[in-house]
Amino acid sequence: MVSRVIPVEDFDLVIFGGTGDLARRKILPGLFRRFLSGQMPSTSRVIGAARSDLDSDGYRAMIREAIDEFGGDEKSETAKLDAFLAQLDYVPIDAMGTGGWSDLSKLMRDGVVKAFYFSVAPSLFGPLAERLHDHGIAGPDSRIVVEKPFGRDLASAHELNATLAEHFDERQIYRIDHYLGKETVQNLMAVRFGNVLFEPLWNNHYVDHIQITVAETVGVGGRGAYYDRSGAMRDMVQNHLMQLLCLIAMEPPSEFEADAVRDEKLKVIRALQPVEPHHIVRGQYQAGPETASYREDAENERSFTESFIAMRTEIANWRWAGVPFYMRTGKRLRARTSEITVVFKDLGHSIFKDDGVAHHNILSIRLQPNEGIDLQMTIKEPGPGGMRLVDVPLDLTFAEALGDTVEDVADAYERLIMDVIRGNQTLFMRGDEVEAAWAWTDPLIEGWTARNDVPKTYETGSAGPEDALMLMHRDGRRWRDIKA
Ligand code: NAP
């Protein structure tokens, strides 16, 4: 069984920052895969734009190298790569300057979807929006794609929204959170809203608590200075983890449509409770046998920025009142894994008198690695010796269950770019959603800043600071193991 690929409409996609890391590592290799799958029309154009003094041939050579370095198995398809590169152009443009815009304008065609990917620093979003508008390059149907970070607090996010709104309607703005483009994240919605099994149990009567873990093994080396100004809260929680929390907690939208889904996510964010100081644990990794400490990586011996954060929050609505949501994310942890876990309550009464162990059903949704879902069930331990119970996983690893169909699964960036061309905003954050997320985040950051909170240290390769384990233990619960 092979997945059906429906080509998108013909498009011109301009990538500002087309020579940058994100463009070379993710956007262009992703587009090449969409080209190979037949989803990208052979007439579509991709135009790189940045200050570097390149011509289109020079840009094609750069992207050939990038696909060679960052592409997967598909990079060996030389003839097809040539055909893909022939669809690329390049225009030297300084986002702050006046040159190059008429060249760009000449390259753009009428009658096709026009999209502009702002893969540049957020300080350039405003100047780009203004110039695209002033030079008549973007019209009322054009789309712009903006990258995280979308602001660093409510005030800056609000200002950024206002700047973009001067030239573009909300329906034209695609704020990327690449977590939303992951296959399993969408599966989370399919599992919740496509099965009768879970919805009746998806509430405070049956759910004991929910855990969201996004663990990384890498440190911040390379982008230490940038990271030190943001930290795990701004870099991961405010966007990726909160988006996951929204999808797991939101009410069923009336239909799977952009605003219906985003309205429901927004309600979750607005119902999020402030987090008590003793329900937040921040950490910084220590040096490992061959790796530097956080402070060395950040080149800031006095840094109080967190490379790890764990917290407990609650959602004040009828469905979730009283159910703790535990979130944690960090760098230099034991394994690279992203997982959402729904731990159901134990049975009020067990008929198996001798057992004495509390058995929980646990639904765990793995975003990476081995995307899939497993459901911990309680069964009888096989063999003689009476009725002994044992918990076993019903494991559904998608790659195994779906066989050939998963061969052409688009990665997050590919899927999201194709959604931009299709004009589907469901998996993109709306302006009010981003602002609501900052409105919840800001007081937490302000709180620990005012308290001069010093992050706890934790060992490289561990599960984070001891205090993070205690956060759960105090509630009589435990985190799931961080394992690959
Ligand atoms: P980068 O490697 O520093 O690239 C920046 C790009 O912007 C380059 O192509 C640069 O080219 C161009 N540029 C800089 N100043 C410009 C100007 N005045 N006018 C026109 N172009 C200009 O950054 P990146 O890692 O690709 O990140 C791009 C954006 O995506 C950032 O907002 C970042 O936070 C976000 N992001 C990146 C990643 C990632 O994995 N890299 C992940 C999530 C979000 P020239 O120097 O030739 O002008």
The 10s digit of each residue's pLDDT in 5-41 is 889 999 999 999 999 999 999 999 999 999 999 999 9
Q: Starting at the edge strand that comes first in sequence, how are the strands of the sheet with 362-368 ordered?
A: 389-397, 372-380, 362-368, 337-344, 207-215, 325-330, 308-313, 280-285, 456-458
Q: Give the separation between CA 187 and CA 397, rounded to whole angstroms.
A: 12
Q: How far is the CA of 370 from the centre of ligand 1 (A)?
A: 30
pLDDT in tens, 406-463: 555 678 899 999 999 999 999 999 999 999 999 999 999 999 999 999 999 999 999 9
Residue 223: phi and psi, rounded to 5, are -120, 30
Q: Whose CA is nearest to atom 32 of ligand 1?
A: 121
Ligand 1 atom nearest 96 alpha carbon? 18
Task: Indicate if ligand 1 lies below 6 Å from the C-beta of 122.
Answer: yes
Q: How far is the CA of 178 from the centre of ligand 1 (A)?
A: 16
Domain boundaries, the chain: 11-147, 180-410+430-473
- Which of 167, 178, 209, 240 is catalytic? The answer is 240
Q: Which residues of the chain have pLDDT under 50?
A: 1
Ligand 1 atom nearest 118 alpha carbon? 29
Q: How far is the CA of 244 from the centre of ligand 1 (A)?
A: 26
Task: Indicate if ligand 1 lies below 6 Å from the C-beta of 148.
Answer: yes
Ligand 1 atom nearest 149 alpha carbon? 34
Contacts of 398 (CB under 8 A, 6+ apart): 183, 184, 187, 371, 372, 373, 406
pLDDT of residue 1: 47
Task: Indicate if ligand 1 lies below 6 Å from the C-beta of 120.
Answer: yes
Please name every residue paired with 146 in a beta bridge, in sequence order, or none if there are none: 118, 175
167 is known as an active-site residue: no
CB 264 within 8 A of CB 250: yes
Q: How far is the CA of 330 from the centre of ligand 1 (A)?
A: 24
Q: Whose CA is nearest to atom 4 of ligand 1?
A: 20
CATH superfamily of 180-410+430-473: Dihydrodipicolinate Reductase; domain 2 (3.30.360.10)
pLDDT of residue 347: 85
CB 274 within 8 A of CB 312: no
What architecture is domain 11-147? Answer: 3-Layer(aba) Sandwich (3.40)
Task: Indicate if ligand 1 lies below 6 Å from the C-beta of 455.
Answer: no
Ligand 1 atom nearest 94 alpha carbon? 19
Beta strands in 176-334 (DSSP E): 207-215, 280-285, 308-313, 325-330
Do the first three CATH levels of 11-147 and 180-410+430-473 match, i.e. the same topology? no
Q: Which residue pairs from 400-403 have beta carbons closer than 8 angstroms and sit at least 24 positions apart in sequence?
A: 400/372, 401/372, 402/1, 403/1
Ligand 1 atom nearest 17 alpha carbon? 9
Q: How far is the CA of 398 from the centre of ligand 1 (A)?
A: 34
Task: Indicate if ligand 1 lies below 6 Å from the C-beta of 20.
Answer: yes
Q: Whose CA is nearest to atom 10 of ligand 1?
A: 17
